[in-house]
């Protein structure tokens, strides 16, 4: 691969919500359009990650297709020659590389992962081993393709750091550059043009991020929600008793979340939105503005989604999986030789 690789994962085990769209889908589509021709973009589907928590297995395959369709509806050009869309499960090298890397990963490193602690809960006897080991699979996803750029949210920061540590550890141990080391998290954010990860909060509990895994339908806006119903959720969002609009995640997370949603859903700079609203005392007017913006966004996305052809999506993925298998197998063979599984 002659061009530097940007790699990002498209989740497949659940439907996308507004937080996914504003925090991941839109930035990645924007990045593709800005950097087409300069970088290679790997948009892979981490469907093997889906098993780390409870899912509806009967929906997994179709949900994968539907989620890629949403990226296309958001403006992703999947026919661009530098963009590859592929399923993790269709490339066996992901699984074998995970095993090799896991043998050079320390138990304590995985035990310190915040995602494992949060999703696994206190009773680890009933937590799947997959949830514990999946940061190593994520490392394999990245290192197989020599990706320098992996723009992830704050919740995946530790996993990116583990990937860097494993790449450096393996390179040093075997005295050769087996892996390209991805850039550190702060540089990743600088690359995509933001100073911190975007985390859209729950409308009902703004101290927590918006998440489908949380049983909080009133606090989460799904991209399939009726636009009018979504607007009602915004109008019922939790705020506070301060009485003044301020952009302050610590003291006014609910109001700040509305300001963030308004800026991102309307493609307006956050500072400009803050200049318009900070200091005012009408939470109702802010909610109305955010509700109208989200309603317009959902109407546009849902309309464009109807035009996306699922057959085109599947054909694209099948073709790209063949190409990416060649790349991944080459990296795996080099590592196999280094660790003694192949003749050097």
Q: What amino acid positions are annotated as catalytic residues?
A: 119, 209, 212
Strand order of the sheet with strand 147-149?
Answer: 83-87, 40-45, 5-9, 147-149
Provide the CA 335 distance to its chain's centre, in angstroms. Answer: 27
User: Does residue 45 sit in helix, strand or coil?
Assistant: strand
Is the Cβ–Cβ distance between 98 and 166 less than 8 Å? Answer: no
Nearest Cα neighbor of 336 from 105, 90, 87, 93 is: 93
Q: Encoding tokens for residue 76?
A: 């992703």
Is the Cβ–Cβ distance between 194 and 27 less than 8 Å? Answer: yes
Phi-psi region of 85 (alpha: psi -120 to 50; beta: other; left: phi over 0): beta
Q: Encoding tokens for residue 121?
A: 């809960």
What are the residue ranges of helices labelled H in the chain?
A: 18-20, 26-35, 60-73, 93-102, 107-111, 114-120, 129-143, 157-174, 185-192, 227-235, 253-265, 270-277, 283-305, 310-339
Q: Encoding tokens for residue 180?
A: 């390209």
What are the residue ranges of helices labelled H in 176-249?
A: 185-192, 227-235
Task: Give the CA distances from residue 257 to residues 20, 209, 254, in Å, rounded to whole numbers and listed in that order.
Answer: 14, 10, 5
């Amino acid at each position: 691969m002659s061009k530097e690789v940007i790699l990002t994962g498209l989740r497949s085990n659940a439907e996308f919500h507004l937080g996914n769209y504003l925090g991941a889908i839109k930035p990645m589509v924007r990045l593709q359009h800005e950097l087409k021709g300069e970088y290679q973009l790997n948009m892979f589907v981490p469907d093997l990650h889906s098993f780390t928590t409870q899912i509806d297995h009967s929906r997994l395959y179709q949900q994968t297709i539907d989620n890629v369709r949403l990226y296309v509806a958001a403006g992703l050009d999947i026919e661009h020659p530098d963009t590859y869309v592929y399923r993790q499960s269709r490339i066996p090298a992901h699984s074998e590389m995970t095993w090799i890397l896991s043998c050079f990963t320390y138990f304590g490193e995985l035990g310190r992962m915040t995602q494992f602690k949060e999703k696994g809960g206190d009773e680890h006897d009933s937590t799947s081993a997959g949830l514990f080991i999946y940061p190593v699979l994520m490392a394999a996803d990245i290192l197989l393709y020599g990706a320098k750029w992996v723009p992830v949210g704050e919740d995946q920061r530790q996993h990116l750091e583990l990937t860097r540590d494993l790449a450096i550890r393996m390179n040093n141990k075997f005295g050769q550059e087996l892996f390209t080391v991805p850039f550190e998290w702060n540089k990743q954010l600088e690359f995509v043009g933001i100073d911190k990860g975007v985390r859209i909060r729950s409308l009902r509990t703004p101290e927590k991020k918006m998440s489908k895994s949380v049983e909080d339908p009133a606090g989460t806006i799904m991209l399939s929600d009726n636009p009018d119903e979504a607007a009602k959720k915004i109008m019922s969002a939790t705020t506070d008793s301060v009485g003044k609009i301020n952009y302050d995640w610590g003291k006014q997370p609910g109001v700040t979340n509305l300001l963030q949603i308004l800026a991102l859903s309307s493609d307006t700079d956050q500072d400009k939105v803050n200049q318009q609203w900070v200091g005012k005392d009408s939470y109702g007017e802010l909610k109305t503005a955010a509700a109208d913006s989200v309603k317009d966004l959902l109407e546009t996305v849902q309309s464009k989604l109807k035009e996306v052809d699922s057959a085109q999506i599947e054909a694209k993925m099948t073709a790209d999986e063949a190409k990416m298998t060649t790349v991944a197998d080459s990296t795996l063979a080099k590592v196999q030789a280094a660790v003694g599984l192949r003749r050097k």
